[in-house]
A and B are shown apart, each in its own frame.
Chain A
Amino acid sequence: MSNFPSNEKALGMYKKMYQIRKYEESIYYLFLEGIMPGTIHQSTGEEASAVGMLYDLRKDDWMASTHRPAGHDIAKGISVKAMMCEMFGKAEGCCGGKGGAMHTGDISVGVIPANAIVGGNLPIAAGVGLAFKMQKKDNVVVCFFGDGASNEGSYHETMNAAGIWKLPVVYVCENNMYSANTSISLTCCQKNVAADRAAVYGIPSEVVDGNDVLAVNEAAARAIARARAGEGPTIIEVKTYRHGGHSRNDACGYRPKDEEKLWIQGRDPVKNFRKVILEHNVISEEELEKVEAGIEQEIEEAVEYAKNALLPSYESALKNVYWEG
């Protein structure tokens, strides 16, 4: 903790993490109630990765997410209200209700529509990076993917080119150890699925404790600076864990209980960072509880708003198949 951030930044990061945690919890309960349509791939437990990577990104930098996008989206700047409306399929959702949980995005804050094809976002992020280079912009792209995506052909085609072309992309492997139900040890002989395979593409890599937001943030700063300076891509592999299942009906029967206990209770990124900021006297506990209550209230209001918001018109189902300007 040699470089402990300013109080303002530490609190800012905590607030985002707490917001993501509470957002995902409320989504979970709305599903249990049976009032939210669709499916969910929740990022609970992976908040430090999202916030650490994206906290210092500029608004005009871009981010490409996966089927598990909510934490990334909120960290990059999509409002909880626009997210919640999208989850309910409402017109005011960030995609007009036509994207859904796995395609949330808002390009006005640099969020490419999230990608539900594993590995599908990797070459797209390379293309955005190429565009930034051609346009002589110093913007960067942060592209998240899971451990499973590192076994897709798109991963290898993309990393090969990103390495040759020195694209301004930070590729972030959120290694939560399971490709849906399957342990990554069954599908890859490397311990670090992305980082150990980075060198062959000439791309520097780092392995980071993905549940330590400060460690992630420091790695992010290095990678973003490299990309912005034209020095090319970095692969950051963050070791993390999802608290819930792969998707809504997954009870995680394939994960050892002691492993779950270790990660969920011992390595909870939100609870641990709360302790850290209190130890560093960033804020008093009393004040922090007020901040947390404010975030919870904001999410409750977003849920109420989204429940009552208008559905899209039927006509909108036929719109923007081709761009309408």
Chain B
Amino acid sequence: MAIMSIADAYKSAIREEMRRDPSVYCIGEDEDIPGGMGGAFTVTKGLGDEFGANVRVALESGGFAFKGTENIGDDRVINTPISEILISGVCVGSAMAGMRPVADLQYGDFLFCMMDQLVNQAAKMCYMSDGKVHVPMVMRAPCGATNRGAQHAQSLESYFIHVPGLKVICPSTPYDAKGMMKQAIRDENPVLVFEHKLLYGGKRKEAGQLSATGEVPEEDYTIPFGQAAIRREGKDITIVANMLMWYKAMQAAEELEKENISCEIIDPRTLVPFDYDTVTKSLKKTGKLMIVHEDTYTGGWGAQLASWVAENAITLLDAPVVRVATPDTPIPFCPTLESYVIPSQQRIAEAARKLAKL
């Protein structure tokens, strides 16, 4: 076992998959520029040393030359123009032609610049051709509010669970990050990977980041999609929360334990496919469901889970479903306001106390 950050776990997964399968390649803005960050959050930094990248190189005679532009196919780390339609379209086309692109979005908010390619193209090609073509591609989307204002802050996963043909995952431990990234790269369909900026633990420090380093096996492994993880066992309330939110729910649960409120915390890990079974099993024990996500309230994935439970498992409930989410606002810059709108340990604990009394 090695101890590593989530950023390094992603890097390790991508590197090993690139070694294993020559069709895997990385593409994105600032993907690996010498002296740069490696994406926005260090995940792809250094991959160009092993797999080649289109970069500027210093000449011994002085001055610079540029390598890897005209012979772009020789390298497997591709630095692109700031052109999200291009990046996503290149992923779709190259995936149909036998490659396995892993694209870095820098900020998930930029997904909106490529919506046509993701929703009309990547998600529909297999279906429209009745399986004659398919699109194995990975889109890595850093998400979460981090004092950067409204356009570098969103938790976007719920937009994409509405699109048939896409898979949506949100790993949040180093072990999951590595195993699920490998699974995503080997998947035959487009997979959106949401990576929370405050959980990376990379060299780029973020205000409010959590330490999410952990053990990662040396040997090759994958984690199948559609299997939730029970982060904490409990008997009074089932809390389903993803990414940063389950960490906050864990802190709230410690607090609540002292008040004799026992919380079971489920991290769905993948939103498409969703592991409803694990939630149902937990509800048989607790009878109370609370959903926590950083995404805004209306139409978030919690709404889907709540309505699924209403349709399929309402008799297990002893109280109304409670959702704790960001209110329906853009994310404000002011750190105090940002902390106010993002679900906090206190808000989660308070909502759980009320639910426990019902």
Q: State A131–B167 Cα separation when bound (angstroms).
A: 23
| Bitwise interface map of B from 53 to 92 toward A, beta carbon under 8 Å scored 1, else 0 | 0000000000000000110110010001101111011111
Q: What are some 10 contacts across the A-B interface (CB < 8 A)?
A: A95-B132, A105-B129, A107-B133, A112-B133, A134-B25, A135-B99, A161-B83, A161-B90, A164-B69, A316-B130
Q: Decide if A98 touches B130 in the complex (CB within 8 Å).
A: yes
- 3 cross-chain pairs, A with B, having the tightest CB-CB distances, nearest first: A123-B89, A127-B93, A133-B73
Given A107-B96, A321-B164: A160 and B81 interface contact (C-beta under 8 Å): yes
Q: Which of B172-190 contact A (CB under 8 A)?
A: 188-189
B127 at the interface (CB under 8 A from A): yes
Q: State A163–B157 Cα separation when bound (angstroms).
A: 34
8 other A-B residue contacts (CB within 8 Å) besides A99-B129, A120-B89: A62-B97, A108-B132, A117-B120, A117-B121, A120-B117, A128-B96, A131-B98, A321-B127
Q: Decide if A103 touches B128 in the complex (CB within 8 Å).
A: yes
A314 at the interface (CB under 8 A from B): no
Q: Decide if B90 touches A320 in the complex (CB within 8 Å).
A: no
Given A157-B86, A165-B70: A320 and B131 interface contact (C-beta under 8 Å): yes
Which residues of chain A are near B206, meaning CB under 8 Å?
A: none
Q: What is the CB-to-nearest-CB distance from A127 to chain B, in angstroms, rounded to a whole number?
A: 2
| Bitwise interface map of A from 98 to 137 toward B, beta carbon under 8 Å scored 1, else 0 | 1100010111100011010100101111111111111110
Q: Decide if B126 touches A160 in the complex (CB within 8 Å).
A: no
Q: Decide if B121 touches A115 in the complex (CB within 8 Å).
A: yes
Q: What is the CB-to-nearest-CB distance from A137 to chain B, in angstroms, rounded to a whole number?
A: 9
Given A120-B117, A133-B72: A161 and B129 interface contact (C-beta under 8 Å): no
B82 nearest in chain A by CB position: A157
Most interface-central of B93, B126, B164, B188 (chain A CB within 10 A): B93
Q: What is the CB-to-nearest-CB distance from A91 to chain B, in angstroms, rounded to a whole number?
A: 9
Q: What is the CB-to-nearest-CB distance from A142 to chain B, in angstroms, rounded to a whole number?
A: 13
B21 at the interface (CB under 8 A from A): no
Number of interface residues, chain A, beta carbon within 8 A: 51
Given A124-B92, A166-B72, A322-B189: A153 and B85 interface contact (C-beta under 8 Å): yes
B322 at the interface (CB under 8 A from A): no
Bin chain B's interface residue count.
35 or more
Q: Decide if B73 touches A136 in the complex (CB within 8 Å).
A: yes
B37 at the interface (CB under 8 A from A): no
B75 nearest in chain A by CB position: A134
Q: Decide if B116 touches A117 in the complex (CB within 8 Å).
A: yes
Q: Decide if A322 touches B165 in the complex (CB within 8 Å).
A: yes
Q: Decide if A323 touches B131 in the complex (CB within 8 Å).
A: yes
Q: State A112–B90 Cα separation when bound (angstroms).
A: 14
Q: What is the CB-to-nearest-CB distance from A66 to chain B, in angstroms, rounded to a whole number?
A: 13
| Bitwise interface map of A from 130 to 161 toward B, beta carbon under 8 Å scored 1, else 0 | 11111110000000000000000110011011
Q: Decide if B133 touches A113 in the complex (CB within 8 Å).
A: yes
Most interface-central of B116, B117, B134 (chain A CB within 10 A): B116
B125 at the interface (CB under 8 A from A): yes
Contact of A323 among B73, B83, B97, B126 (CB under 8 A): B126
A222 at the interface (CB under 8 A from B): no
B289 at the interface (CB under 8 A from A): no
Q: State A158–B25 Cα separation when bound (angstroms).
A: 19
A96 at the interface (CB under 8 A from B): yes
Which residues of chain B are near A123, meaning CB under 8 Å?
A: 85-86, 88-90, 92-93, 117
Q: State A160–B90 Cα separation when bound (angstroms).
A: 13
Q: Which of A144-199 contact B (CB under 8 A)?
A: 153-154, 157-158, 160-161, 164-167
Q: State A130–B81 Cα separation when bound (angstroms).
A: 15
Q: Decide if A320 touches B86 in the complex (CB within 8 Å).
A: no
B94 at the interface (CB under 8 A from A): yes
Contact of A127 among B90, B131, B133 (CB under 8 A): B90
Q: Decide if A319 touches B80 in the complex (CB within 8 Å).
A: no
Q: State A60–B311 Cα separation when bound (angstroms).
A: 50
Most interface-central of A115, A154, A161, A322 (chain B CB within 10 A): A322
Q: Decide if B132 touches A120 in the complex (CB within 8 Å).
A: no
A8 at the interface (CB under 8 A from B): no
Q: Decide if B125 touches A113 in the complex (CB within 8 Å).
A: yes
Q: Decide if B89 touches A154 in the complex (CB within 8 Å).
A: yes
Given A123-B88, A323-B189: A95 and B128 interface contact (C-beta under 8 Å): yes
Q: Decide if A124 touches B96 in the complex (CB within 8 Å).
A: yes
Q: Decide if A124 touches B89 in the complex (CB within 8 Å).
A: yes
B91 nearest in chain A by CB position: A127
Most interface-central of B72, B97, B126 (chain A CB within 10 A): B97
Q: Decide if B129 touches A322 in the complex (CB within 8 Å).
A: no
Q: Decide if A128 touches B93 in the complex (CB within 8 Å).
A: yes
Q: Decide if B126 touches A130 in the complex (CB within 8 Å).
A: no
B95 at the interface (CB under 8 A from A): yes
Q: State A226–B125 Cα separation when bound (angstroms).
A: 29
Q: Decide if B81 touches A157 in the complex (CB within 8 Å).
A: yes
Q: Decide if B86 touches A132 in the complex (CB within 8 Å).
A: no
Q: Which of B124-164 contact A (CB under 8 A)?
A: 125-134, 164
B66 nearest in chain A by CB position: A164
A315 at the interface (CB under 8 A from B): no
Which residues of chain A are near B164, meaning CB under 8 Å?
A: 321
Which residues of chain A are near B101, meaning CB under 8 Å?
A: 127
Q: What is the CB-to-nearest-CB distance from A233 to chain B, in angstroms, rounded to a whole number?
A: 12
Q: State A257–B109 Cα separation when bound (angstroms).
A: 49
Q: Which of B101-124 contact A (CB under 8 A)?
A: 101, 116-117, 120-121
| Bitwise interface map of A from 185 to 227 toward B, beta carbon under 8 Å scored 1, else 0 | 0000000000000000000000000000000000000000000
Which residues of chain B are near A97, meaning CB under 8 Å?
A: 130
Q: State A166–B130 Cα separation when bound (angstroms).
A: 32
Contact of A321 among B116, B132, B165 (CB under 8 A): B165
Q: Decide if A322 touches B126 in the complex (CB within 8 Å).
A: yes
Q: Decide if A120 touches B120 in the complex (CB within 8 Å).
A: yes
Q: State A105–B131 Cα separation when bound (angstroms).
A: 11
Q: What is the CB-to-nearest-CB distance from B28 to chain A, in angstroms, rounded to a whole number?
A: 13
Given A113-B133, A165-B69, A323-B131: A130 and B93 interface contact (C-beta under 8 Å): yes
Q: Which of A269-311 contact B (CB under 8 A)?
A: none
Q: Decide if B129 touches A124 in the complex (CB within 8 Å).
A: no
